[in-house]
Amino acid sequence: MWSSYHDIVLRFYKRMLDKKINHPLHEKKNKVVCFSDTTMEKVQKIIARYPEGRQKSALLPLLHIAQEEFEGYLSVDVMDYIAELLSIQPIEVYEVATFYSQYYLDPVGKNVIEICRTGPCAICGGEKMQEYVEQRLNIKTGETTPDGLFTLKAVECLGACGSAPVMQINTEFHEFLTKEKIDQILDELTLKAKEEKPEKSLWKEKFF
């Protein structure tokens, strides 16, 4: 009997070892990341808004800017860079980045569609709109289209219940959604993606 128990334990550990631990937080690629000079100027101004020695307060705004500047998501390299910039421990950045839903830890498409799934939107047809976007992009919620143009996410209340159903794309609001409206928005974004410099409202500009 003892040996069989022993076997089970052994098998369990073997399985644990075989399974590659695969989490974005564990993959450091040692890529050099650095804000551009113009962004850095703004970053310094943001840090200056908080009292001396309280530079950690700038973490949330900085993560928004970093996410925007570096490929749309927060990789370990980016988070470590922010930690260094604010003279805090990397873990202090990781724990914040994993807590707030607007920080993405996985690569996302060029346009992130966040569709509201909460009560007031749901009773005004939000669920059907979500289904329609899925169908139209041929992906499930949480996935990215193969061409890397769109990522679809379902989020909690966006605070625009009076114009339900709503979605936010790259933090621009789109309200009173209908199938026709969704078609139009997605078509426009697909067209825009072909342009060299797509118009986007940027965090680093909004902060000033």
Partner 1 sequence: MERKILLKNIAVPGIRTFEVFRSTGGYRSVEKALKTMSPDEVVEEVKKSGLRGRGGAGFPAGMKWSFIDKKSNKPRYLICNADESEPGTFKDRYLMEKIPHLLIEGMICSCYALGAKTGYIYVRGEYKYIIGILNEAIREAYANGFLGNNILGSSYSLDIHVHSGAGAYICGEETAMIESLEGKRGNPRIKPPFPAVVGLYGGPTVVNNVETLANIGFIVNHGGTEYARYGSGKSTGTKLISACGNINNPGVYEIELGLSVRQFLYDEQYCGGIKNSKELKAVIAGGSSVPILPKELILQNATGEERLFTYESLADGGFVSGTMLGSGGFIVYDEDACIVRNTWNLARFYHHESCGQCSPCREGTGWMENVLHRIENGQGRTKDIDLLVSIAAKIEGNTICPLGDAAAWPVASAIRHFRHEFEEHVLHPERCGH
Binding residues (CB under 8 A) for partner 1: these are: 49, 51, 54, 56-61, 63-64, 86, 88, 92, 95-96, 99-103, 117-120, 122-124, 155-164, 168, 171-173, 201, 203, 205-208
Q: Shortest distance, CB of residue 193 to partner 1, whole angstroms?
A: 21
Backbone conformation region of residue 75, classed left if phi is above 0, alpha if psi is from -120 to 50, else beta: beta
CA distance 187 to 190: 5
110 or 117: CB nearest partner 1: 117
33 or 88: CB nearest partner 1: 88
Q: Shortest distance, CB of residue 13 to partner 1, whole angstroms?
A: 28
13 or 50: CB nearest partner 1: 50
The terminus-to-terminus CA distance of the chain in angstroms comes to 70
71 or 127: CB nearest partner 1: 127
* Paired residues of 172 in beta bridges: 169
Both structure tokens of 203? 């965090």
CA distance 146 to 151: 10
The DSSP string of 54-73 is -GGGGHHHHHHHHHHHTTTS
Q: Shortest distance, CB of residue 3 to partner 1, whole angstroms?
A: 37
Q: Shortest distance, CB of residue 89 to partner 1, whole angstroms?
A: 12
